[in-house]
Structure 1
Amino acid sequence: MRYKRLKYSLRSSACIYYYGVAFCLLSFVSTPQSPVLAQTSASPKSTGSLDSTEIRQLFFSALREKTVENLKHASELFERVIQADPRNDASLYELANLKKIQNDYANAQPLLERAVAVKPNNEWYWSALADSYEKSNNIGKLENVFNQLIRINPNKPEYYFDKANALVILKRYDDALAVYDQLEQIAGPSDDILGSRQKVYLKQGKIDKAAADIEKAIAENPGQIRYYLLLSEIYNSNGLTDKAVKVLLQAEKLDAGNGQVHLALADIYRDKKSNDASFKELTQAFAIPDISIDQKIRILTGYYPKFPDPNAKASALELSRILSITHSKDSKAFAIYGDMLLTNDKLKEAKEAYKTSIALDGQIYAVQEQLLRIELSQNDLDGAIKDGENTLSLFPNQAWANYLVGVAYAQKKDFNKALGYVKNATSLELQDKELLSLSFSLLGDCYHDLKNNKSSDEAYDKALANNPDNAYTLNNYAYYLSLRNEQLDKAAQMSARSTQLQPNTSSFEDTYAWILFMQKKYSDAKLWMEKALAHDKENSGVKYEHYGDILFYLGKTDDAVDNWKKAKGYGDKSPILDRKINEKKYVE
């Protein structure tokens, strides 16, 4: 017969936990199988001054203390029982468990050894002792424990596996193989036995025996693709890649729609640097619905470390496209397709993929945030507001969503609405320094446009407190101070810092030049304005006007007028620009 075995390390923690819970429950419902009543019903002779009734009462008092987690008192009571009755196996067992809870395996072991000596047929006691030996790495004593457990319950496969595992750790490989043979005679062949046996063969370096065992399974079950996969894995992991490919190609002929075969081939071809062949196998695997979408997504995310290599990006994009077709009803497929489109700078297509993902499942916040970011980058302010407010109806406490909607409103010049959303962002997020700096900076911009200079300055100060190197905040704050002709030294320091953080940024250099001009440092101002003009790709009329202003104060009136005329030609609509040109002098 076949059976399915739970995964475990050396001992099955599930079994031990089950025994522990079962014991506690059985103790209180007083079933005949309970080790507590098995001991007390036997009316053992006590060696202390307590009679059997008093011992029984003391035992149940200890159990009650254990139940309310008063472990110290419970331990003391169990110890009193053992002092009065050294052969009280239930108390030995319970006290040992309490010590195990405290990771005191050294003192738990002798208690359990005494318990099994009193009741050698108690499966729970032996299981607890096995666990204790394993946790304290006392592997040498495990063989006898599992022998006892097999004697008590010979039809439980886990005990055979546990015994074999202990023997493997002790490098007694042939003895471990003998245990698997014994189990196979009792329970019949199984994949668990087959797989475990292969691991032993491979530890012995007997690749031929491992392969022969699986080849026998293939001969007996030629249609079972899992055996081909197992055989190919053995060959591939031991450097026999050609044999591994041959086995997988045989499997492919039997079942071309088996995705695991294609994935295994893709792995081998990748290791052989046959990238085209590997990618071909992946595309076939991704088109097979039976392979879980989560496994495919794990493969896709494996491409991330290879970015920004264009070939890796293109391959990941194509696989994600296939994924969206194969799993067309799963929002995750379109979410990662959107991610790959975004990575390949296909913003329009990414936007549609994210919208499809949201339509399939609107409960994934990260996808909605990505959509908002794309809409803002495309200056789709109405779309960002609509989708952002819908996002916030589902996720009102998401600080980034509040900030992004605030950005959209600010760009639409609706500063009062922007303030509401951005204030929400600052109240919802207290740890994300980046978001806090951006949010307070945006508050500063909004307050400035609303002519609330005091609140604007306070917001900028908070932005810089969260991120002293926020270049845009440094630039804006400095520029607005200079427009008011206030705190020019502070403005100059902030502006200079922004040019260090983002050198060759024309707008930052223009701000710094303007502040130097306000400080009457005209030579320095000229130097920085010339940098700004050199890095200006848009031929800003305002910059040429500023340059003319500087030149005028350096006594170069004709050059100043020429630059004022250039400013007008480039679209500068300053109301005093014509006066500067006509009067050939600086006008405030």
Structure 2
Amino acid sequence: MKVSESRYFKIGRRYTPCAAAVLTLVFCLLILSSNGQDKKVIVVAGKHLTPTDSATVKQLFFSALREKAIDNNNMATEFFDRIMQIDPSNDATLYELSIIKKLKKNYAGAQDLLERAVTVNPDNEWYWVALADCYEKSNSYAKLENVFNELIRLDPEKTDYYYDKANALFYQGKYDEALAVYKKIEEQTGITDDLLANRQKIYLKQNKIDLAARQLEQMIANDPSQIKYYLFLSQLYSSNNQPDKALKILQDGEKIKPNSGLVHLALADIYRDKKNIDASYNELNLAFAIPDLDIEQKIKIIGGYLPRFPDPNARASALELSKLLITAHPNDARAFSIYGDMLLQNDKSKEARVMYQKSVALNAQVYEVQEQLVRLDLADNDIAAAIKDGENSLSLFPNQAWMNYLVGVAWLQKKDYHKALDYIKNATSLELQDKDLLSQSFSALGDCYHDLKDNKSSDEAYDKALTYNPDNAFTLNNYSYYLSLRGEALEKAAKMSKHSNELQPKNASFEDTYAWILFRQKDYAGAKIWIEKALADDKDKTATKMEHYGDILFYLGNVDSAVDYWKKAKDAGGKSPFLEQKINERKYIE
């Protein structure tokens, strides 16, 4: 049974397992307490048990409980069934069998056993509680109502049973009867929030909005300082299309407690519904600045902006709200991580990196934040920080494949290829499903092996990377370029390089690679077309591309222009082994 929260399930949780243990102990004591009475004839529900029968039942019952205690429910069931053959009205056994059937999700079978148990022993509270669970599972509300009548008979002071009875009446549509039960609860406990909420639900079902409102107005009049009643009443008006009344009551509540974050959030909702976006956003700002308002609520509100992030105004609003978090919650790591996320969404990566650093300093146990930090370290080309942050993270989360890869990439950029290999190999052994990670990891291994002059291992790693992602443009480019430098498998290199340019057109580095492969294939005219594309798309005017252009021009017979471009390459900082010699001797040297 459920209202604002499920009172019925509270009973179920309270009962198992401790109550079961207590009840079993009671049964055992009852059986053991017979002592010398075994010689007497015991009468149970009209059936006479001989002393031998009684002794057998007692022995079987203990054996069944012993098997049940070690989760051997099949054997326990056999013992209990044998008891039922001797004593079909043994209510303790009926109850124990019902528990086993419940464990097997056989609620219908458990219900039948419990109905028999309460017939034999109608004054056992726990039998009725267990039976209520079965009726609740099958939505048998009329029967459930009767169960709670019995439970109230057994324990008339237990408020939960009255709530459960009212719930059963509610689900049968017996609203006036349910209200009568709530009246009894009020006599026991006085007015409580649970009682208000349950009554409100009935009034709304009966479409008695005015009656529901008068009840809350009376509560406000009795205790004007209780801001929750203003919130209840505003929600009542708002949910029944009376926004002006909802706004008025919230404004009254704000006067009573101007620093209530919940009031400001409710006002933000009302203004949003009334299409007053500026007023709504202003209320959100006021709410977010209040430290007492739970940060989780604020984070959920910021998350609500995410679907609207193609709109720059939505991104900016989320950014401003998240900034308020770090002021209101300066010791909460979540505040800084969320602010970092929003900075990143607004293309402020350097500021985001600082926020992630602060978040990790406050709480190093959130892996996702640490990974984001290391990615930004690498993006800022702060290799030392990437290694430090990444290895700190791996000391806490050693089995994170992506972090092993990122630290490996950092060592690769630091040109410590052996350390890079160790971390990147870890990544490939820890992750077997993520094709993106595996593709990038084997590609990085290819780069490492190339720099270690292990061409065979390098080629194998690149080939494996392409099995996971044949469209990895950077792998295609690097692999094909290194093959061209060695003058090996040039047809394969040309095919891969051409595909990389199809995947990422106007990439100057990729265009230069393709030009150089064509040059090695002696297709100088084709090479000239592609190197000119590379130079046109090269914003940095790198020395390598200008030198390559000079090499191509030389073989096309334009020596003067070739020398001019070699000189431009030198002026641009080119330091290839033969560049100076090419200029001095005015010829291509390999």
Please give the TM-score of this superposition, normalised by the length of structure 1: 0.90
Question: 1:14-163 residue pairs with structure 2 within 5 A?
Answer: 14-27=10-23, 29-30=25-26, 44=44, 46=47, 51-163=53-165
Deviation at 1:26, TM superposition (A): 2.5
Give the corresponding residue for 1:317.
319
Residues 1:186 and 1:386: Cα distance change in structure 2 (over 3 Å): closer
Give the corresponding residue for 1:206.
208
Q: Distance in 2 between matches of 1:181 and 1:538?
A: 81
Residue identity in the other structure for 1:491:
A
Give the corresponding residue for 1:349.
351
- Paired residue for 1:518, among 520, 534, 552? 520
Question: 1:227-238 residue pairs with structure 2 within 5 A?
Answer: 227-238=229-240
Q: Distance in 2 between matches of 1:8 and 1:255?
A: 27
Give the corresponding residue for 2:220.
218
Deviation at 1:175, TM superposition (A): 2.3
- Which runs of no fewer than 5 residues in structure 1 stay unpaired? none
Residues 1:91 and 1:197: Cα distance change in structure 2 (over 3 Å): same
Please say if 1:253 is aligned against 2:249: no
Residue identity in the other structure for 2:21:
L
Residue identity in the other structure for 1:16:
G
Question: 1:459-470 residue pairs with structure 2 within 5 A?
Answer: 459-470=461-472
Deviation at 1:72, TM superposition (A): 2.2
Give the corresponding residue for 1:240.
242
Q: Distance in 2 between matches of 1:441 and 1:139?
A: 64
**Residue deviations 1:139-176, cap 9 Å, x none?**
23212111111122122122222222222222222222
Q: Distance in 1 between matches of 2:468 and 2:479?
A: 15
Deviation at 1:480, TM superposition (A): 0.4
Kindly indicate whether the alpha-carbon contact (under 8 Å) linking 1:375 and 1:384 is maintained by their aligned counterparts in 2.
yes
Q: Distance in 1 between matches of 2:217 and 2:555?
A: 93
Kindly indicate whether the alpha-carbon contact (under 8 Å) linking 1:43 and 1:52 is maintained by their aligned counterparts in 2.
no
Give the corresponding residue for 2:330.
328
Deviation at 1:214, TM superposition (A): 0.9
Kindly indicate whether the alpha-carbon contact (under 8 Å) linking 1:48 and 1:83 is maintained by their aligned counterparts in 2.
no
Residue identity in the other structure for 1:401:
M
Q: Distance in 1 between matches of 2:189 and 2:543?
A: 89
Residue identity in the other structure for 2:284:
L
Deviation at 1:291, TM superposition (A): 1.2
Deviation at 1:192, TM superposition (A): 0.7
Residues 1:206 and 1:33: Cα distance change in structure 2 (over 3 Å): farther
Shifted more, 229-238 versus 140-149: the winner is 140-149
Q: Distance in 2 between matches of 1:81 and 1:7?
A: 43
Kindly indicate whether the alpha-carbon contact (under 8 Å) linking 2:4 and 2:198 is maintained by their aligned counterparts in 1.
no
Deviation at 1:47, TM superposition (A): 6.1
Deviation at 1:405, TM superposition (A): 2.7
CA RMSD of aligned residues (A): 2.9
Q: Distance in 2 between matches of 1:33 and 1:323?
A: 60
Q: Distance in 2 between matches of 1:217 and 1:282?
A: 27
Residue identity in the other structure for 1:207:
I
Q: Distance in 1 between matches of 2:380 and 2:262?
A: 41
Residues 1:525 and 1:222: Cα distance change in structure 2 (over 3 Å): same
Deviation at 1:481, TM superposition (A): 0.9
Percent of aligned pairs with the same amino acid: 61
- Paired residue for 1:385, among 387, 391, 394? 387
Give the corresponding residue for 1:546.
548
Deviation at 1:32, TM superposition (A): 8.8
Residues 1:197 and 1:6: Cα distance change in structure 2 (over 3 Å): closer
Deviation at 1:6, TM superposition (A): 11
Deviation at 1:55, TM superposition (A): 1.6
Kindly indicate whether the alpha-carbon contact (under 8 Å) linking 1:30 and 1:37 is maintained by their aligned counterparts in 2.
no
Deviation at 1:491, TM superposition (A): 1.6
Give the corresponding residue for 1:405.
407
- Paired residue for 1:423, among 403, 421, 425? 425
Residues 1:574 and 1:17: Cα distance change in structure 2 (over 3 Å): closer
Match of 2:17, SS?
helix
Give the corresponding residue for 2:531.
529
Residues 1:501 and 1:258: Cα distance change in structure 2 (over 3 Å): same
Residue identity in the other structure for 2:76:
A
Kindly indicate whether the alpha-carbon contact (under 8 Å) linking 1:300 and 1:320 is maintained by their aligned counterparts in 2.
yes
Residue identity in the other structure for 1:498:
S
Give the corresponding residue for 1:478.
480
Residues 1:43 and 1:383: Cα distance change in structure 2 (over 3 Å): same
**Residue deviations 1:534-564, cap 9 Å, x none?**
3222223433443444455556667656655
Kindly indicate whether the alpha-carbon contact (under 8 Å) linking 1:46 and 1:84 is maintained by their aligned counterparts in 2.
no
- Which runs of no fewer than 5 residues in structure 2 stay unpaired? none
Kindly indicate whether the alpha-carbon contact (under 8 Å) linking 1:27 and 1:34 is maintained by their aligned counterparts in 2.
no
Residue identity in the other structure for 1:236:
S
Q: Distance in 1 between matches of 2:407 and 2:393?
A: 10
Residues 1:299 and 1:36: Cα distance change in structure 2 (over 3 Å): farther
Please say if 1:195 is aligned against 2:197: yes
Kindly indicate whether the alpha-carbon contact (under 8 Å) linking 2:27 and 2:92 is maintained by their aligned counterparts in 1.
no
**Residue deviations 1:427-464, cap 9 Å, x none?**
33333332232222222212211212122222222322
Give the corresponding residue for 2:307.
305
Shifted more, 397-406 versus 248-257: the winner is 397-406
Q: Distance in 2 between matches of 1:514 and 1:563?
A: 16
Q: Distance in 2 between matches of 1:37 and 1:463?
A: 76
Please give the TM-score of this superposition, normalised by the length of structure 2: 0.90
Q: Distance in 2 between matches of 1:13 and 1:273?
A: 41
Residue identity in the other structure for 1:304:
L
Deviation at 1:393, TM superposition (A): 3.6
- Paired residue for 2:173, among 160, 171, 174? 171
Deviation at 1:37, TM superposition (A): 7.8
**Residue deviations 1:20-41, cap 9 Å, x none?**
4245422554479979989x99
Kindly indicate whether the alpha-carbon contact (under 8 Å) linking 2:421 and 2:448 is maintained by their aligned counterparts in 1.
yes
Residue identity in the other structure for 1:163:
K
Residues 1:248 and 1:7: Cα distance change in structure 2 (over 3 Å): closer
Kindly indicate whether the alpha-carbon contact (under 8 Å) linking 2:3 and 2:167 is maintained by their aligned counterparts in 1.
no
Q: Distance in 2 between matches of 1:17 and 1:6?
A: 17
Deviation at 1:301, TM superposition (A): 2.4
Q: Distance in 2 between matches of 1:34 and 1:529?
A: 97
Kindly indicate whether the alpha-carbon contact (under 8 Å) linking 2:4 and 2:194 is maintained by their aligned counterparts in 1.
no
Q: Distance in 2 between matches of 1:147 and 1:520?
A: 97
Deviation at 1:407, TM superposition (A): 2.3
Q: Distance in 2 between matches of 1:587 and 1:150?
A: 102
Deviation at 1:135, TM superposition (A): 0.9
Residues 1:23 and 1:314: Cα distance change in structure 2 (over 3 Å): closer
Match of 1:12, SS?
helix
Give the corresponding residue for 1:489.
491
Q: Distance in 1 between matches of 2:32 and 2:494?
A: 83
Kindly indicate whether the alpha-carbon contact (under 8 Å) linking 2:94 and 2:113 is maintained by their aligned counterparts in 1.
yes
Q: Distance in 2 between matches of 1:53 and 1:149?
A: 33
Match of 2:522, SS?
coil
Residues 1:417 and 1:70: Cα distance change in structure 2 (over 3 Å): closer
Kindly indicate whether the alpha-carbon contact (under 8 Å) linking 2:136 and 2:144 is maintained by their aligned counterparts in 1.
yes
Deviation at 1:252, TM superposition (A): 0.4
Kindly indicate whether the alpha-carbon contact (under 8 Å) linking 1:47 and 1:84 is maintained by their aligned counterparts in 2.
no
Shifted more, 374-383 versus 518-527: the winner is 518-527
Q: Distance in 2 between matches of 1:214 and 1:473?
A: 68
Residues 1:23 and 1:84: Cα distance change in structure 2 (over 3 Å): farther
Residues 1:194 and 1:6: Cα distance change in structure 2 (over 3 Å): closer
Kindly indicate whether the alpha-carbon contact (under 8 Å) linking 1:121 and 1:152 is maintained by their aligned counterparts in 2.
yes
**Residue deviations 1:167-201, cap 9 Å, x none?**
22222222222221232223322111110110111
Residue identity in the other structure for 1:72:
N
Residues 1:109 and 1:243: Cα distance change in structure 2 (over 3 Å): same
Kindly indicate whether the alpha-carbon contact (under 8 Å) linking 1:116 and 1:126 is maintained by their aligned counterparts in 2.
yes
**Residue deviations 1:253-304, cap 9 Å, x none?**
0011111111111122223332221221112112212112222222222222
Match of 1:51, SS?
helix
